[in-house]
């Protein structure tokens, strides 16, 4: 499986996934830290990919959705954006609702897929 397929699989197989530097528990940059904190504050599990652990993903993810920076947050297969957009959505309540809806939708369509909160790649 090539790197673009691996990225696509992580995006499509997880209702909420963040591609970040580090992990939610041990972020390696301030932007990734703030975005992960906003997702954690939503109260639902989400997947993450530590781009520092996979040079291919680090180099190719910006091409995947034409978004040049990290972190990148995807909900229901769609790029939401990076840190600033995620925090803005959290502050106005949109992020909480989007995350809740995405997780509920995934559970309803595939109750056996409670596989989140872990590295997706």
Digit-coded pLDDT (tens) for 18-58: 999 999 999 999 999 999 999 999 999 999 999 999 999 99
Residue 106 within a domain: no
What's 69's domain CATH number?
3.40.30.10
R_g of the chain, CA atoms, integer Å = 13
Residues 56-65 have pLDDT tens digits of: 999 999 999 9
Q: By residue range, what is the domain housing residue 28?
A: 3-101
Domain count for the chain, please give it.
1
- Residue 116: pLDDT band (50, 70, 90) is very low
| Residue 113 confidence (pLDDT) | 53
Give the helix/strand (H/E) hosting 75.
strand 72-75
CB of 30 closer than 8 Å to CB of 57: no
Residue 7 within a domain: yes
> Does the predicted model carry a pTM greater than 0.85?
yes
The overall average pLDDT reported for the chain is 93
Give the C-alpha distances (Å, rounded to integers) separating 120 from 89, 90, 94.
Answer: 23, 23, 24
Give the C-alpha distances (Å, rounded to integers) separating 86 from 4, 70, 108.
Answer: 24, 12, 25
């Amino acid at each position: 499986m090539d790197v673009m397929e691996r990225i696509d699989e992580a995006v499509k197989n997880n209702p909420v996934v963040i591609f970040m530097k580090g992990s939610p528990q041990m972020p390696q940059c301030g932007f990734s830290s703030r975005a992960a904190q906003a997702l954690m504050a939503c109260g639902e599990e989400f997947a993450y990919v530590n781009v520092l652990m996979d040079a291919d993903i680090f180099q190719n993810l910006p091409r995947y959705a034409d978004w040049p920076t990290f972190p990148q947050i995807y909900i229901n297969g769609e790029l939401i954006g990076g840190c600033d957009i995620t925090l803005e959505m959290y502050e106005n309540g949109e992020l909480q609702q989007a995350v809740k809806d995405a997780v509920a939708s995934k559970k309803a369509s595939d109750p056996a897929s409670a596989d989140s909160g872990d590295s997706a790649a």
